[in-house]
Amino acid sequence: MQDDFEKILSGLSARITLLLEYRGQVIIDERLAQLLKLIDQKGSILSAAKSLGTSYSRAWEWISKAERILGVELVMRRRGGISGGGARLTEEGKKLLNYYFEKAKECGLMFPREVSVVPKEKLPDIFFAGSHDPILENLFGHFAKQTKYKIEISWIGSSGGLLALMLREADISGTHLLDPESGEYNIPYLGKYWIHDRVIVIRGYQREISLAYSPQISLKGIEDLISGKIKIVNRNPGSGTRILLDQILQDIAKKNKLSFQKLTEKIPGYSFEVKTHIEVAKAIASGKADAGLVLTFIAKNFNLKCIPLRWEWYDFIILLERVKKKSLRDFITFLRSDVAKNIIEACQGYKVSEEIGRIIYVPTSMPYQIRQFLKTLQ
């Protein structure tokens, strides 16, 4: 046994890498440096992520974390996409990358190393990027089994999904963003991401969002969160649930004549962020947090107590230029089917309307051929 382990030791190789920190937090490592370099070369976060063999959501996570800590944008997002160069480094991004190369050279590191590019894969039949929804996972599973389509899913939040559509890197996104001024979901946000003339919106379904909390504590309402005694678990910035919580907290801040920042400082765990509803529920159930906003369906599955907050619309946004893809047309048809409706309605905290799978938004101006084609989907 000892001889076997000696052989293992002799086969180990040492490799030194470089980490750059800002105020004790890692900003950039070799993976992010390679990702940024590829983004600038390819003009696409999706292409860069695939070249590195990492997921689209993980690439976004690396970039967003560094941007939040530094307080600057490293990757410029603009209309374009894989063919049009939708993502490029900002001046700050280029300076950070060059600084990393310089420090690597000073440390005697040969960087950048050759990136181990993953062989080109066949693109999925549907690339979805958007807000996490457990029932949608189930729907996609049934749909893929029924049709044999390859579906790639990236849970990057409602805002991230709209941004992926703006960059033409996703085919379809799922969002549940409430516009506080109009009280309308999703459609008012299309203009904010410059895609109002490039997408259609398909009606999805309704979901109930609750303030879920541990059975070990007592809560009367969401204002109890500012008592300083309740530790929450929060969602990632850009997710619809995080945006909803912040909107509610902004109203509470005004009511209490506090700044939003001062109010959030009163809430333990406000910066404790996770990416999915299931992760929120797990954090509460395990005692890592006391409360958090989560789907009623998930909260009940984890035996958490709930204070219902509101019903929201979870809709689907599809790029106009991709709407003729058979896989997307088949998914729209599937949404209207009894199979899909039964899956949704069987879950507590979900509701289906007669509009499911119907087009509820089209651009005011579009080519005649596309307009005629959309009529076949009605």
Block residue for tokens 């209309």: 79
Question: Residue 155: which H helix or E strand, with range?
Answer: strand 151-155
Q: How far is CA 76 from the centre of its chain?
A: 18
pTM recorded for the entire structure: 0.84
Per the CB < 8 A criterion, the answer to whether 158 and 240 are in contact is yes
So what's the pLDDT on residue 85?
A: 42
The hierarchical CATH code for the domain 17-106 is: 1.10.10.10
Mean pLDDT of 300-312: 96
CB atoms within 10 A of CB 228: 10
What letter does residue 25 receive in the DSSP assignment? E
Residue 70 has φ and ψ, to the nearest 5°, of: -80, -25
Residue 84 has pLDDT above 70, yes or no: no
Tens-place pLDDT, residues 186-240: 999 999 999 999 999 999 999 999 999 999 999 999 999 988 999 999 998 888 9
Mean pLDDT of 140-145: 96
Q: What CATH fold (topology level) applies to the domain 126-375?
A: D-Maltodextrin-Binding Protein; domain 2 (3.40.190)
What's the rounded Cα separation, in Å, for the pair 168 and 123?
14
CB atoms within 10 A of CB 188: 16
Q: What is the pLDDT confidence band of residue 83, given thresholds at 50, 70 and 90?
A: very low
The domains of the chain are located at 17-106, 126-375
Quote the tokens at residue 274. Answer: 């996770």
Residue 200 has φ and ψ, to the nearest 5°, of: -120, 160
Whether the domain at 17-106 and the domain at 126-375 fall into the same CATH topology = no
Per the CB < 8 A criterion, the answer to whether 374 and 362 are in contact is yes
